[in-house]
C-alpha cells in the first residue's frame, strides 16, 4: 500500500520545531538558500520544515542540525530544554 499523497506533517502542534529551526538558521547567519545548499535540498524543503509542513528523515535532520551547529533534539524535541540521558 502506498503512503498517502501530500506533505508529511511534522508531529508538533503549532510549528514549534519550525520556529526553532528558523531561529537557529538565523543565529547561524544562514539564509534559507544557504541552509538548503549546505544540506543539499531545495529551498522549498527548508521552507516546509520551517512552516511545519515537512518532517525530515533522520539523515536530513542530522545534516540540518550539523549545519546549524546544534543537535537534532534541540531542533525537533517537543521539550528541548530537558536533558536526554547519556
Q: Where do runs of H (alpha helix) occur along 1-86?
A: 16-27, 32-39, 43-51, 58-67, 72-76
Domain 13-74 maps to which CATH number in 3.40.50.850, 3.40.50.150, 3.40.640.10, 1.10.260.40?
1.10.260.40
Q: What is the pLDDT of residue 39?
A: 97
Residue 81: pLDDT band (50, 70, 90) is low
Q: What is the pLDDT of residue 77?
A: 85
Contacts of 64 (CB under 8 A, 6+ apart): 21, 35, 39, 49, 56, 75
pTM over 0.75: yes
Q: What is the pLDDT of residues 24-78, one digit of tens each?
A: 999 999 999 999 999 999 999 999 999 989 999 999 999 999 999 999 999 988 6
**Distances, alpha carbon 41 to alpha carbons 36, 76, 84, in Å:** 5, 18, 29
Q: What is the pLDDT of residue 24?
A: 96
Ramachandran area for residue 66 (φ above 0: left; ψ -120 to 50: alpha; else beta)? alpha
Amino acid at each position: 500500500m502506498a503512503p498517502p499523497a501530500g506533505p508529511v506533517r511534522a508531529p508538533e502542534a503549532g510549528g514549534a520545531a519550525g520556529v526553532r529551526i528558523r531561529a537557529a538558521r538565523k543565529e547561524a547567519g544562514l539564509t534559507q538558500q544557504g541552509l538548503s545548499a549546505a544540506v543539499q535540498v531545495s529551498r522549498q524543503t527548508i521552507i516546509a520544515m520551517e512552516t511545519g509542513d515537512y518532517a525530515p528523515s533522520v539523515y536530513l535532520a542530522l545534516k540540518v542540525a550539523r549545519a546549524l551547529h546544534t543537535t537534532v533534539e534541540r531542533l525537533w524535541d517537543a521539550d528541548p530544554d530537558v536533558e536526554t540521558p547519556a
